[in-house]
Amino acid sequence: MDPEGPAFDTLLKVQFVTKAWPDIRKGVQKDEEWQNKPLEELVRKTQQIYVKRDEEKTLNDAQKLVGVITWLCPYLGLTTAQLSPLFELLKGDTDLKSPREMTPEARKVLEEVQQAVSACQVYCIEPSIDVTVFITTPDLHPTGIIGQWNDDWTDPLHVLEWVFLPHQLHKTATALFELIACLIIKCRQRCLQLMGADPSKIILPVQREEFDWSYANNVSLQSALQGFSGQITYHLPSHKLLQVAKNTQFSLRPKNSQEPVQSPAVFTDGSGKTGKAIVTWQDGSEWQVLESHEDGSAQLVELRAAVMAFEKFSQEPFNLITDSAYVADIAQRLGCSVLKEVSNPALFDLLKALWCAIQARVHPYYVLHVRSHTKLPGFVAEGNARADKLANPAWAAPQPDVLAQAKASHGFFHQNAHTLQKQFQLMATEAREIVELCDDCHALGAPLPAGVNPRGLKALELWQTDVTQVAEFGRLKYVHVTVDTFSSAMWDSAHTGEKARDVIAH
């Protein structure tokens, strides 16, 4: 046998193993129990993941905790509505060392966060499967899911990332289709960042007829889908993460009618000074009145009157007529809007009551905004004037003295002199005197008379002159300076005085 050949090497290895086998056998432990273990116990698992936190005692601690959880939200699937108890910890005293106490609701949210972190799975994108954006609406808070769907997978939905809207909205009442439009824009932008392309499909939790109507009547949706070449569908697939959206019933169509309905005309008004909220309507030949009291600004009282009207006519259609532009606007937008929590508790309670009353309606309503105190003929002006008188009896009651009426009206509305003169047919001097005697208005400068142009329309047409005293010029210390208001040309000359003859000489 060749000592340098491969056969000789193989023989040496066999002899080594044969001699060393007793020692090797002693170091090997036989364990056949793995054959009876379930497959899950043989799989490698990562270390237990949790959110590291200390006891939150100050605003600084709460801010750090909420910041970490917010950073994890795109991977946990917890909506901003679920995390709202934690956001409440950030309100209140602005001192970073100010104390914070964990509420039971906040502790429950932290437990949900910990469970979500422990059960969280991360999926890698499958290049052969199209990316889809799923729009869901848990608790009427639109939420987006960027994922992939394949019926052949054990879990057909692989979530790549969750997309949420801000907790605090910009508007007090934001239409639901505007929120969906903002979410679509955010999802498309995120897809471009992750994959460099738009998603192949967007699935919306609405009926096609409602989406077509909203798309044709809303610029926000048109902008959100500008340039989108993918497919839009309207039926979410069956999955546990998407069942919440299926169980939430909502409509993108506004509940208010764009045309008057064949129903009673209901007039509302309120006064911030008296606190009276009035609802009045004509029943046959008689006028019916509902009255309530609300402390606060005129805005709160007007809202109280609107809430009373919607609660009174909850089972029938009606026409709401108000002279408050704020009430008219908010009543039309609350039909399919998400309400933002405002810092004023009284205002938020009234807005919430109005939102609930409108959401519970099955009959249409029409809102008409009219200008008050126009003295126009007709039923609408008469009804609005009647509501004004009921809400403001102190100043609106008939008075024989026109001057007294003007003073009372100015004490409430603070019109300028020109408006008072036209409204009550006063002399110009009488109107100016009323404004000058008013404690709230006397510090304001009188408006320019009508027809006066403060700037010249042609060169050398209108000049403005001022006199400055320069002591170094001696007897000629009065320097007259004139500026042409059209061309800004300036002329100055020194004189011995500032009387009329000196101005003429200048």
| Token output for 492 | 């100055």
Which of 81-85, 172-176, 430-434, 441-445 has maximum average pLDDT? Answer: 430-434
Let me know if residue 12 belongs to a domain: no
Interval 432-445 mean pLDDT:
76
The reply to whether 189 and 160 lie within a common domain is: yes
pLDDT of residue 202: 92
Burial of 78-95, coded b for 16+ CB within 10 Å and e otherwise, reads bbbebbebbbebeeeeee
Whether 340 has a pLDDT exceeding 90, the answer reads no
Q: Residue 14 contacts by C-beta under 8 Å, 6 or more apart in sequence?
A: none
Least confident of 9-23, 235-249, 360-374: 9-23
The reply to whether 272 and 297 lie within a common domain is: yes
Mean pLDDT of the chain: 79
Per-residue pLDDT tens digits for 137-151: 877 778 888 989 988
| Cα–Cα dist 173/328, whole Å | 13
247, 280, 314 - which closes a domain: 247
> Any idea what the CATH number is for the domain that residue 214 is in?
3.30.70.270
Looking only at the bridges linking them, the beta strands covering 265-270 and 478-484 are unpaired
Let me know if residue 124 belongs to a domain: no
Whether 130 has a pLDDT exceeding 80, the answer reads yes
CA distances from 343 to 92, 102, 172, 392 (A): 11, 21, 11, 29
pLDDT of residue 4: 59
Reported pTM:
0.54
CA 121 to chain CA mean position, Å = 33
Let me know if residue 449 belongs to a domain: no
> Any idea what the CATH number is for the domain that residue 371 is in?
3.30.420.10
Let me know if residue 272 belongs to a domain: yes
Least confident of 113-122, 123-132, 210-219, 390-399: 390-399
247, 273, 304 - which closes a domain: 247
E strands, 86-142, are: 131-136
> Any idea what the CATH number is for the domain that residue 425 is in?
1.10.10
Per-residue pLDDT tens digits for 55-90: 667 877 777 777 777 766 666 667 777 777 777 777
The reply to whether 287 and 365 lie within a common domain is: yes
The reply to whether 139 and 224 lie within a common domain is: yes
- 379 falls in which pLDDT band (50, 70, 90)? confident
The reply to whether 200 and 101 lie within a common domain is: no
Let me know if residue 477 belongs to a domain: yes
The reply to whether 230 and 192 lie within a common domain is: yes
Interval 338-349 mean pLDDT:
83
Interval 115-143 mean pLDDT:
80
Torsion region of 319: left, alpha or beta (phi above 0 gives left; psi -120 to 50 gives alpha): beta
Looking at the structure of the chain, the number of domains it has is 5
Let me know if residue 457 belongs to a domain: no
Let me know if residue 20 belongs to a domain: no
pLDDT of residue 456: 65
Whether 47 has a pLDDT exceeding 60, the answer reads no
| Cα–Cα dist 141/164, whole Å | 9
The reply to whether 307 and 351 lie within a common domain is: yes
- 467 falls in which pLDDT band (50, 70, 90)? very high
pLDDT of residue 40: 46
Quote the domain boundaries for residue 144: 131-247
